Structure formats: C-alpha cells, structure tokens
Amino acid sequence: MRGDVVPLMEHKPEASVIDNKVLLEAHVMSKCPDARDCLQKLVVPAMEQISDKVDFGLSFIASVSNKSADVVCKHGPAECIGDMLILCAANLPFPPEGRSMLRTPTIRSLGFANCLISSYEKIPERSFVEQCALEHGIDFDALNECASQQDDDPGHHGGDKDPLSGIALLRKSALYSEALGVRTSCTVRLDEQVWCVRDDGVWKDCAQGGRGSQVSVLVEEIEKIYRKRN
C-alpha cells in the first residue's frame, strides 16, 4: 500500500491495537447494482463472521478534478451525495451510550452503507436516508450537516471541533481508490491485493481459482492470515 494514502471509512482511535488485524476493503459506487450485490453476497456475510479480525475500509470510485474541488460520480450528483452520506456516517463520533453500544463503529457504518446501497435507487431521498440512519444509530442531523458542508477544507481554521466535510471525505476516498488503480465497482481487496471483482452482474478476477466470491473461502483466508499474525 502506498504510504501517502489511507482508506477512509472511519476514524479509528484504536488503530494502535489493530495492527495485527487483516485489511479488508471494498471500493464501490453508492448507486451501483454491483456494489449492492457485492456487499449483500460477500462483504456483509463475511464481516458478520470475522469482523473482530478485520480492519475494514469502504472507499469510493469517482473522478476528482485537479483544477477545482469538483468530484464527478459516474451515476450523477445523487451518487456523490450517497457516497458522502456513507463517508460522513463512518466518520461521525460514535455515540457514547444507548443501543448502539451493542455495535462497533465499523458494524454501524457498514450497516448504514448496506442499507443505502441495498435500495440505491432511493438515494438521496430524505425519508429513506433518515430511516437507514435511525436503524443504525446514526444522528441524522449531524449526518446531514456533514454531507451538506460545502467547504472542501473545513479544518483549515485549526479548531478542535471543525465540522466534517462530506466533499472533502469523498475527494480523499476517490483519490485513494485512484492511487490504487481501482476503477471498477465493486472491487474487494484483501491484505492489499485484489481478492474479487463484481462487474456487470458477475464475479471476475476472484482469488483461489475463482472461488474467492464464496463467503466461506473469504472467511477462511482471513482467519488463516490472522492466525499467522497473532
């Protein structure tokens, strides 16, 4: 992995204790049927079994302008909003109490992302986003504020509580995918290598002779890598 890019899924203050976890990443577009299938058929079922062994990251694929702050998404501006909502949810402070305590920040974030992408045609309908936020313990007002933030660098004032910027998060996420040469939604990467690709409704370039699209095979490989490191 390039040293100057990091996967943007969420802030991880516990990073110092997850060094031995296995890096699992999915690169997607929020209004893409392949992203929906990829999460539902592979990523989410696998994470339900091995989330404690994984450092998970969800990144987005979009075109970033070198001349302006513009970000262009393949499926239009609504997709950019969906991408930003998911990134904002992943980076919002984790609630200190309540039902959400039963979930880790990663599970909360991935659950929200899966909720949106599962019915991607509804993105960015307010009632739909609110329902997904409610289901996964996410503050909708804070989410909306982040996604609506127009300042590409809201932290330039140096304050301790500078607002999150959805557009800034999306730019960084898109640049990360670009730096890795990832252009297809959905591309799953395991331990810094392409594991499997979902494209045009079929699995392609999957590891282990094409068996990598099977949840059991992915889980087994993650457990194998984890055992070697711990």
pLDDT at 112 exceeding the cut of 70 = yes
Domains and CATH numbers, the chain: 22-225 (3.40.30.10)
Q: Are strands 193-199 and 63-64 parallel, antiparallel or unpaired?
A: unpaired
Specify the length of the chain in residues.
Answer: 230
Q: What is the pLDDT of residue 144?
A: 95
Which of 116, 119, 173 lies closest to 143 in space, CA to CA?
Answer: 116
User: What is the 8-class DSSP label of residue 69?
Assistant: S
Mean pLDDT (whole number) for 80-107: 78
Task: pLDDT band for 4, please (50, 70, 90 cuts).
Answer: very low
Which residue type, as a one-letter code, is found at position 52?
D
Q: In the predicted model, is pLDDT for residue 11 greater than 60? A: no
> Residue 90 pLDDT more than 70?
yes
| Tens digit of each residue's pLDDT (9 = 90 or more) over 162-196 | 578 999 999 999 999 999 999 999 999 999 999 99
Pairing, β 71-72 against β 63-64: antiparallel
For 142-168, how does the pLDDT look when each residue is reduced to its tens digit (9 = 90+)? 999 999 987 766 555 444 455 789 999
Cα gap 94→103, rounded to integer Å: 10
pLDDT at 104: 75
Strand partners, 25: 57, 189
| pLDDT > 70? residue 13 | no
| Per-residue confidence (pLDDT) for residue 153, from 0 to 100 | 61
Question: Do residues 155 and 101 lie in contact, with contact meaning Cβ atoms separated by under 8 Å?
Answer: no
- Does residue 116 register a pLDDT over 80? yes
Strand 54-60: give its sheet, edge to edge.
54-60, 22-28, 187-190, 193-199, 202-204
- Span 80-109, average pLDDT: 79
Higher pLDDT pick, 92 / 218: 218
DSSP state of 94: P
The confidence score (pLDDT) of residue 105 equals 82
Q: What is the structure's pLDDT at 93? A: 80
Q: Is the confidence at residue 197, as pLDDT, over 60? A: yes
pLDDT band at 2 (very low <50, low <70, confident <90, very high): very low
- Answer whether residue 9 shows pLDDT above 90: no
The mean pLDDT of 25-53, rounded to a whole number, is: 98
> What is the pTM for the complete model shown?
0.85
